[in-house]
Amino acid sequence: MGKYEIVCVFKTSVYSADGFKYYHFVDAANAEEFNAYLSTCQALAMYETGVSAQYGDNLLTLSTCEYSRTNGRMVVVAKLITPIDEVSGNA
């Protein structure tokens, strides 16, 4: 838990060769892997949020079914800006 800012929102499909496999990204091994993931997310973004992320940021990815395509998904990627202990005043 904590406060998050939305980095990007995009649509893709799962279980197909042409969809972005965002669900395979769990923990970047290095900055290059993180930047490649983020670049793809931003390339698919439906609109500009004005928020970016950098290697070391904690990302949260939310996904739900989306019906404009077969096996479609709507994906929201956000970055942690304030951990819960700081939000609740327990720092």
Instruction: Spell out the domains of the chain, with CATH numbers in brackets.
Output: 2-86 (2.40.260.10)
Residue given tokens 């990815």 in the structure block: 61
pLDDT tens, residue by residue, 42-52: 999 999 999 99
In whole angstroms, what is the distance from residue 79 CA to residue 88 CA?
A: 18
Indicate the DSSP class of residue 24: G
In whole angstroms, what is the distance from residue 24 CA to residue 1 CA?
A: 22
How are strands ordered across the β-sheet holding 72-83?
2-13, 72-83, 59-66
Check residue 34 and give its pLDDT. Answer: 97
C-alpha dist (Å) from residue 40 to 14, 20, 33, 58 = 15, 8, 11, 17
In the predicted model, is pLDDT for residue 91 greater than 70?
A: no
Of the listed ranges 29-33, 49-53, 79-83, 84-88, the least confidently predicted one is: 84-88
In the predicted model, is pLDDT for residue 90 greater than 80?
A: no
Check residue 84 and give its pLDDT. Answer: 73
What is the pTM (predicted TM-score) of this model?
0.86
